[in-house]
Amino acid sequence: MPRLNVLFVVSECVPFAKTGGLADVAGALPAALAERGHDVRVVLPRYRVTKKHPARMLDHVLTVPVSFGPVFGGVSETTLPGSRAKVYFLEHDNLFDRGGIYGDSNGDFGDNLARYTFLSRGALELCKLLNFEPDVVHVQDWPTSLVPVYLNTLYRHEPLGRAASVLTVHNLAYQGWFNKSELHVTGLGWDTYLKGGLERRDTINVLQGGLVHATIVNTVSPTYATEIQTPGGGEGFDGLLRARGDVLGILNGIDDTIWNPELDKHIAAPFSAHDLTGKAACKAALQREMGLPERPDVPLIGMVSRLVTQKGIDIFAESLGRILAEDVQVVVLGSGEKWAEDLFLRLSHSTPHFRAWIGMNEPLSHKIEAGADLFLMPSRYEPCGLNQMYSQRYGTLPIVRAVGGLDDTVDNFVTGFKFEELSSAALSQCVEWALHAYRDEPAHFRAMMLRAMKKPMGWNHAARQYEALFRLAMAKRRGHLTDG
């Protein structure tokens, strides 16, 4: 199999910058592809948080037309840890040296169109500087959705224009809406805006541009791929996606070098499916750290989540009265909507068996995965979801709503517990069922833990599927270029 040149453009990537699961995917999939022999180059912005990671400054000056003139930036290079996959940081301190990735406590940054235009177009300009000819440009979500538009317009007649583009939708709800008066920022013309897919309701919709122009569009689980092609789950794009006819779901994997209870440096004691003793130490350590009574017998429910409606935190909040009436402990780690942060902090102070930690805390996220008995994800929708896979790997049985990737990755009463209806009643009932299994059916509960821990969830399978998708995209791109 000839190796492929893959340009992977992304707005966040572990270990350099992370707000959610996209970063986990970006840190792992390129490495899995590189492992299979491909030349994979990851491009992301040099945010302030990335600066603690050493990178070699290249001599090149990156010239990117943004708005009315060229913007000059620097480029530095490193690799993904433990991998040959190269990482390029596009540097422009005015745009990226800030206290947040997409925004800060005042909301999204007002110049995000310029910031992600710089990334999208900068990634293509970088290929020219490096003499790198990608066979496929793989982009993720709205921040890099201008890339397929550029390949079909401004770069169409350049050698780069031969590259196929694959747009992976990690979350259809975030679309990149901008006032049309900002169109000049992108360097694209009104014809592209009006007839080329960027215009939606008299406004720029960057994701839509990507969905129209990408050679192939995919998403991160088979069930979400089906859901987004229905009016209920399509966020206004179901018709467009059905008309494309090529949207399939490839399940994410998990990075076994980071999420592995045998190797995890953040947890109190290692453990595995062959020897679970360390898990009890992890539970005791978590209880101690969170100021909960150190009781091995009480079921401990964990949650690590962006505190937003997508994650069902409203129905979780409604069900807390009923859940906390049980002999149970609950630990929540997350940040997001203020009402939820306030509520969880208040409860944390007033309820002896509920604790919340508000903010991003990577070590604690590992400690919760390892130390809890059950892990809650009552999502309204979930493109894939990684935490339910991490928790299975750590023998912490997930309680999930049967949607999107949660439905695809949890086997009911085999490796976790599922409920269907989006309601606090259905959620609390499912929690009660899981608690009953924990207390009254310990042998079955333990068998479930072992089955969950042994389930194969690595990236290799997904990497092979992406490889096939890339080849399909290349064939399709060649066909398009010959046709027109």
Q: Which residues bind ligand GLC (CB under 6 A)?
A: 20-22, 25, 170-171, 220, 252, 382-386, 405
Query: Which phi and psi angles does 394 have, rounded to 5°?
Result: -95, 10
Identify what 376 binds: ligand GLC, ligand ADP, none; CB under 5 to 8 Å per kind.
none
Nearer to ligand ADP by C-beta: 24 or 135? 24
Identity of the residue, 21 or 73, whose beta carbon is nearer to ligand GLC in the bound complex: 21
| Closest of 247, 215, 23 to residue 135, by C-alpha | 215
CA angle centred on 468, ends 464 and 470, rounded to 5°: 115
Tokens of 370: 């390892």
Q: Does 406 bind ligand ADP (CB under 6 A)?
A: no
In this complex, which beta carbon is closest to ligand GLC, that of residue 45 or of residue 385?
385
One-letter amino acid at 44 equals L
Answer yes or no whether residue 79 interacts with ligand ADP by CB under 6 A: no
379 alpha carbon, distance to own chain's centre = 14
Q: From the list ligand ADP, ligand GLC, none, pick the one residue 361 interacts with, judged by a Cβ distance below 5 to 8 Å according to partner type.
A: ligand ADP
* Residue 335 touches which member of ligand ADP, ligand GLC, none, C-beta under 5-8 Å by kind: ligand ADP
Instruction: Give the residue with the Cβ less far from ligand GLC, 25 or 457.
Output: 25
C-alpha closest to that of 119 among 55, 48, 66, 69 = 66
- Residue 371: which of ligand GLC, ligand ADP, none does it interact with, CB under 5 to 8 A by kind? none
Q: Minimal distance in Å, beta carbon 173 to ligand ADP? A: 10
**CA distances to 147, 211, 291, 368, 479 from 242, in Å:** 22, 11, 51, 39, 21
Interface with ligand ADP (CB under 6 A), residue total: 18
Q: In angstroms, give the least distance from the CB of 308 to ligand GLC.
A: 10
Q: How far is CA 401 from the centre of its chain?
A: 18
Residue 342 CA from chain centroid, whole number: 25
- Residue 74 interacting entry, from ligand ADP, ligand GLC, none, C-beta within 5 to 8 Å by type: none
Q: For residues 190-249, which are near ligand ADP according to CB under 6 A?
A: none
**Residue nearest ligand ADP by beta-carbon distance:** 21
Stretch of 46-54, 144-152, 230-238, 329-337 lying at the interface with ligand ADP (CB under 6 A) = 329-337
30-43 burial by CB neighbour count: b if 16+ within 10 A, else e? bbbbbbbebbbbbb
Per DSSP bridges, beta strands 248-249 and 216-219 are: parallel
Residue reference for tokens 């991490």: 390
Task: Name the residue nearer to ligand ADP (CB basis): 386 or 469.
Answer: 386
**Closest-CA residue to 229 (of 250, 246, 251, 209):** 246
Cβ-based nearer residue to ligand ADP, 124 or 368: 368
The item of ligand ADP, ligand GLC, none sharing an interface with residue 387, based on CB under 5 to 8 Å by kind, is ligand ADP
Cβ proximity to ligand GLC, 228 vs 356, nearer residue = 228
Report the Cα–Cα distance between both ends of the chain, in Å, rounded: 28
Beta pairing class for 248-249 and 164-169: unpaired
Measured from the CB of residue 100, what is the shortest distance to ligand ADP in angstroms? Answer: 14
- Chosen from ligand ADP, ligand GLC, none, partner binding at 30 (C-beta under 5 to 8 Å by type): none
User: Which residues in 344-403 contact ligand ADP (CB under 6 A)?
Assistant: 360-362, 365, 384-387
Q: Which residue number, 4 or 452, has a Cβ lying nearer to ligand ADP?
A: 452
> Of these partners, ligand GLC, ligand ADP, none, which one is at the site of residue 103 (CB under 5 to 8 Å by kind)?
none
Pick the closer one to ligand GLC by CB: 283 or 366. Answer: 366
- Closest distance to ligand ADP from the beta carbon of 444 (Å): 26
Q: Which two tokens stand for residue 74?
A: 């620097």
Residue 333 binding ligand ADP, by CB under 6 A: yes
Binding interface with ligand ADP (CB under 6 A)? 20-22, 24, 304-306, 333-335, 360-362, 365, 384-387
